[in-house]
Structure 1
Amino acid sequence: MSASGSKFISTEPLRNEEARWARLVKTTYLDPNGVERTWESSERQTRPQGSGIDGVGIIAILEKSTGPELLLQKQYRPPVAKVCIEVPAGLIDAGESPEVCALRELKEETGYVGEVAKGSSAVSPVMYNDPGFCNTNLNMVHVTVDMSRPENQNLKTELEENEFIECFSVPLKDLYSECRKLEQEGYAIDARVGTLAEGFEVAKKWKLC
């Protein structure tokens, strides 16, 4: 089933009592001059009690003989009425670590069985997606996928009935140019993918690697 098969129908205000995933809130705070101000934002209602994050994003590197490739997804996102180019991601379950969540979500959404990368950079600092608008946050988890493993030959996903996800991969060295190409084709680029691509370009420009 293609992610591009979804169609926008309409949009309308959502009452708080109808909301399952998020709600609008008004925050009152004092600015540095002591002036009381208010701020409108949204917050998730799904974060498990005791968890410091809502979910994870997964930087899954496919280890291919032609070079490393980044696993990406195409998924229709109703708020922007477009198919988005994203990394695999998902909400964390109660009691789960970011690493366990990442491997579970990777298997469910893509069928791939991976391993969390070694070292202190395997799990990113807590990142906030759009802190001026929402309190949603996550850890990015770096995962490697050994393409020679039998489990990674005949992939079986475990998608929910409302998930329509297409997976594909892009050579890491071509990520920036691929993002430009995909945007021209009408896709929306998720900020996590775009920021990673921009990071590669900054590293190239300033000869950091």
Structure 2
Amino acid sequence: MSISDAKVLSTVPLLDDEARWINLVKITYQDPKGASRTWESAERRTRPKDGEIDGVGIVAILNNPTTGRKELLLQRQYRPPVDCVTIEVPAGLVDADETAEQAAVRELREETGYVGVVTETSPIMYNDPGFCNTNLRMVHVSIDMSLPENRDPRPQLEDGEFIDVFTVPLDNLWEECKRLERDGCAIDARVGTIAEGILLAQQLKL
């Protein structure tokens, strides 16, 4: 069997006392004209106390020794909320007393087997601020392919994690995203944003 065999079996309302990962909240706020309004929102329960972010996304670029092209490290995994195999960058939640950079190095090793060094960290980004308060930092990680552990990377997946790791050439990422969508995959917004940024840079010759 493969991750493409996963599927939703049923959907029912989630009671608050059953929820492990999220809260649903009703927000009362004042708009710019002074009127009182309400908003429905989801919040993660997992953000560390006094932490500023929920998680990290990882931009890991490898040099393909055969083709000489730079390739982006990506993952395929089934996501029940969209009932689909998604194309994502490696990512994960931040543990208590852990920096974004530490979380990125740990998650990269656990999910892909690769060992990397942080080179850049983004400002805090919000995934869908009209719906939830979930946020993250994108962490850029350099991977030295000459290291023995990076020649034969071995993921350390948790029980219940099913992740396929692969790479896509950066200069063709936009077209690859469109091809993967035609094949039935859902494209994570972080991957799509990287692809669109590269496309714009190519078109505008930046």
Query: What is the aligned partner in structure 2 of residue 38 from structure 1?
Result: 38
Q: CA RMSD in A?
A: 0.9
Q: Distance in 2 between matches of 1:175 and 1:10?
A: 34
Per-residue CA deviations over 1:143-194 (Å, capped at 9, x if unaligned) read 1111111011222211111100000000110100000000000000000000
Conserved? CA contact 1:2–1:165, under 8 Å: no
- Following TM superposition, the consecutive aligned residue runs of length 4 or more in structure 1 with deviations greater than 4 angstroms are none
Matches within 5 A, 1:85-100: 85-100=87-102
- Is residue 2:70 matched to residue 1:72? no
Per-residue CA deviations over 1:46-100 (Å, capped at 9, x if unaligned) read 0001110001000011122322110000010000000000000000011111111
Q: Distance in 2 between matches of 1:198 and 1:106?
A: 23
Q: SS of the residue aligned with 2:143?
A: strand
Q: Distance in 2 between matches of 1:63 and 1:154?
A: 15
Query: What is the aligned partner in structure 1 of residue 179 from structure 2?
Result: 181
Query: What is the aligned partner in structure 1 of residue 124 from structure 2?
Result: 126
Query: What is the aligned partner in structure 1 of residue 115 from structure 2?
Result: 113
Query: What is the aligned partner in structure 1 of residue 9 from structure 2?
Result: 9
**Which amino acid letter does the alignment assign opposite residue 131 of structure 1?**
P
Q: Distance in 2 between matches of 1:62 and 1:13?
A: 43
Conserved? CA contact 1:2–1:166, under 8 Å: no
TM-score normalised to the size of structure 1?
0.95
**Offset at 1:5?**
2.5
Query: What is the aligned partner in structure 1 of residue 86 from structure 2?
Result: 84
Q: Percent sequence identity over matched residues? A: 62
Of the structure 1 ranges 33-42 and 4-13, higher mean CA displacement relative to structure 2 is found in 4-13
Q: SS of the residue aligned with 1:17?
A: helix
Q: Distance in 2 between matches of 1:134 and 1:70?
A: 28
Would you say how many aligned residue pairs link Structure 1 and Structure 2? 204
Q: Distance in 2 between matches of 1:52 and 1:114?
A: 23
- Structure 1: which 5+ runs fail to align? none
Q: Distance in 2 between matches of 1:11 and 1:143?
A: 38
Q: SS of the residue aligned with 2:180?
A: helix
Matches within 5 A, 1:162-181: 162-181=160-179
**Which amino acid letter does the alignment assign opposite residue 55 of structure 1?**
G
Q: SS of the residue aligned with 1:84?
A: strand
Q: Distance in 2 between matches of 1:44 and 1:56?
A: 14
**Offset at 1:2?**
2.6
- Structure 2: which 5+ runs fail to align? none
**Which amino acid letter does the alignment assign opposite residue 24 of structure 2?**
L
